[in-house]
A and B are shown apart, each in its own frame.
Chain A
């Protein structure tokens, strides 16, 4: 177990030692500052700091951008090893390929976590400083945290798809392309295919659990439990394909 932790440390260092590592955090901070400025100056009704944080973390706020940022930042985690050629020195250590890939996936999960914790903290702090730390009747801590959780799950789904794409294509450019394409076109796909029954089994229709908060599922007959099971099944499938491919691959 200790040796697995060391592998995760390795992966984290490979990400964090890059000069570009701080870019997503700076971008998020800048966006939140921009939103605060706009709302403070041009909005008639000022939100409470909890409302503001909930807005920031939701998919229509910064949520979707966070997903894209995570995809862009983690697209290289497998692909870059191939393009740099470091995979050859990585896979000839006394560690199985599954452990190495698992450590990479765990590092990706940690990165998702760090991005969301940072965003939430920045939104709460910024919102509090600008709008005051007073409570609100409509939005409580629960709403903010569950909203964040739904967006983390949404991000996890697409990042897992990107992780698979990174292994299959061995190219970070292609991975970013595929990831962004899917995130941007997901709604369109669901709308276009909505007359077919099978659409509700597509991952695109299920990834966003926040739709159930307002009781507005994309297709009739879908429930929170149904979507959770579909998401879990897809994530397991994507990871299974990822691990099998990575284990079997001839590194030439």
Chain B
């Protein structure tokens, strides 16, 4: 009897702790039906989503969709009209100080006191939180690679250096979730890449959850595990990206373009095959585009070879996040 009970207890956390699926990380940030109205006009309308430990989630939307407002409500800079945000189960509305202690954030470009040194700026934030040791300051300084600049005034910092100091102040109090509003604004490609590498490392090594808002879609595609798309303050869709998404798609159809010696002949051969949908034909470029299941492609190649049609290229036609984004949000509104 006892043994059985124990066995059951062991399986419980995986199954229903906070509604988690087996093997998934716990929820760190939970946005629940958050609404912001100015006058009677809703800026953000009943928005809900969760972020789990170690996850990098992108908040996407066209300009004016309410990304910045949402992020500012999460960190308490803007009040909510309705709904609530919970950080590790603690309400931002009811117990702000306790909830925000788990949050590190950079809101737009990080701004510091320009007449003070990088070190003095970090000391300011050290004094505002409990239990940050001198070693911790050194540790985050090393992590962002600013050791040599710490005794310079922030006035003399480049934007990239300020961004790094921004990450340092956000990580100082060992938060469980990092919230970044347009973190790559104004950074050059090298800076953007550096930022992306930091975030991925922090998420993977320390298990910190990350919420990023941006309108740079290609960037989000490289950085995030998942994106939440909003428009006019409303939830539109949610997508898993990267490897996880690839696995899901293994059985899905892919779009492939073949460049062949004779496009017409290839078309005639291919339409005879089941499981294939012809998407496009351009005889002048000798290309034929089809939609087909992944594991069916070798047979397509075999069939074309059997007809004596030479194949020069096989390319996958990938819908990028940008294409999908435009589809979700109705295209022309993106700026």
**Digit string of B94-113 for contact with A (CB within 8 Å is 1, else 0)?**
00111011010111111111
A9 / chain B contacts, CB cutoff of 8 Å: 127
Q: Is the CB of B115 within 8 A of A85?
A: no
Chain A 35-93 residues near chain B, CB threshold 8 A: 84-86, 88-89, 91-93
Q: Is the CB of B128 within 8 A of A10?
A: yes
Please, how many angstroms separate the alpha-carbon atoms of A251 and B120 in the complex? 24
Please, how many angstroms separate the alpha-carbon atoms of A68 and B98 in the complex? 40
- Nearest CB of A to B176, in Å: 13
Q: Is the CB of B124 within 8 A of A13?
A: yes
Q: Is the CB of A19 within 8 A of B128?
A: no
**Digit string of A95-134 for contact with B (CB within 8 Å is 1, else 0)?**
1100000000000000000000000000000000000000
B103 / chain A contacts, CB cutoff of 8 Å: 92
Please, how many angstroms separate the alpha-carbon atoms of A88 and B113 in the complex? 12
- Checking B111, B125, B128 against A88 with a beta-carbon cut-off of 8 angstroms, the contacting residue is B111
Q: Is the CB of A85 within 8 A of B108?
A: yes
Please, how many angstroms separate the alpha-carbon atoms of A37 and B279 in the complex? 96
With A89-B169, A94-B101 as contacts: A17 and B113 at CB distance below 8 Å: yes
B160 / chain A contacts, CB cutoff of 8 Å: none
Q: Is B130 an interface residue (CB 8 A)?
A: yes
Chain B 65-117 residues near chain A, CB threshold 8 A: 72, 75-79, 96-98, 100-101, 103, 105-116
A85 / chain B contacts, CB cutoff of 8 Å: 108-109, 111
Q: Is the CB of A84 within 8 A of B114?
A: yes
Q: Is A195 an interface residue (CB 8 A)?
A: no
A18 / chain B contacts, CB cutoff of 8 Å: 115
- Checking A7, A88, A251 against B127 with a beta-carbon cut-off of 8 angstroms, the contacting residue is A7
Question: Chain B contact residues: over half helix, strand or loop, or mixed?
Answer: loop
B96 / chain A contacts, CB cutoff of 8 Å: 96
Q: Is A142 an interface residue (CB 8 A)?
A: no
Q: Is B129 an interface residue (CB 8 A)?
A: yes
**Digit string of A1-35 for contact with B (CB within 8 Å is 1, else 0)?**
00100110110011001110000000000000000
- Checking B98, B100, B101, B116 against A17 with a beta-carbon cut-off of 8 angstroms, the contacting residue is B116
Among residues of A, the one whose C-beta sits closest to the C-beta of B107 is: A88
Query: How many residue-residue contacts, CB under 8 A, span A and B?
Result: 77
Chain B 47-76 residues near chain A, CB threshold 8 A: 72, 75-76
Q: Is the CB of B112 within 8 A of A93?
A: no
With A13-B124, A17-B116 as contacts: A89 and B77 at CB distance below 8 Å: no
Please, how many angstroms separate the alpha-carbon atoms of A94 and B129 in the complex? 6
- Nearest CB of B to A99, in Å: 9
Please, how many angstroms separate the alpha-carbon atoms of A108 and B108 in the complex? 29
Please, how many angstroms separate the alpha-carbon atoms of A32 and B296 in the complex? 94
- Nearest CB of A to B334, in Å: 22
Q: Is the CB of A10 within 8 A of B78?
A: no
With A17-B116, A250-B79 as contacts: A92 and B107 at CB distance below 8 Å: yes
- Checking B78, B105, B115 against A250 with a beta-carbon cut-off of 8 angstroms, the contacting residue is B78
With A10-B127, A84-B114, A251-B78 as contacts: A92 and B105 at CB distance below 8 Å: yes
With A91-B77, A96-B97 as contacts: A13 and B128 at CB distance below 8 Å: no
- Nearest CB of A to B155, in Å: 11
- Nearest CB of B to A7, in Å: 7
With A86-B112, A86-B113 as contacts: A251 and B72 at CB distance below 8 Å: yes
A91 / chain B contacts, CB cutoff of 8 Å: 76-77
Q: Is the CB of B125 within 8 A of A93?
A: yes
Please, how many angstroms separate the alpha-carbon atoms of A131 and B107 in the complex? 59
- Checking B108, B111, B113, B115 against A19 with a beta-carbon cut-off of 8 angstroms, the contacting residue is B115
- Nearest CB of B to A93, in Å: 4
Among residues of A, the one whose C-beta sits closest to the C-beta of B68 is: A252
B124 / chain A contacts, CB cutoff of 8 Å: 10, 13-14
- Checking A6, A10, A86 against B111 with a beta-carbon cut-off of 8 angstroms, the contacting residue is A86
With A95-B97, A96-B97 as contacts: A89 and B129 at CB distance below 8 Å: no
A93 / chain B contacts, CB cutoff of 8 Å: 100, 125, 128-129
- Nearest CB of A to B266, in Å: 58
Residues on B facing A (Cβ under 8 Å): 72, 75-79, 96-98, 100-101, 103, 105-116, 120, 124-125, 127-130, 169, 173
Q: List 25 A-B contacts (CB under 8 A).
A: A9-B127, A10-B124, A10-B128, A13-B120, A17-B115, A17-B116, A18-B115, A85-B108, A85-B111, A86-B111, A86-B112, A86-B113, A88-B77, A89-B107, A89-B125, A91-B77, A92-B100, A93-B128, A94-B100, A94-B173, A95-B97, A96-B97, A250-B79, A251-B77, A252-B72
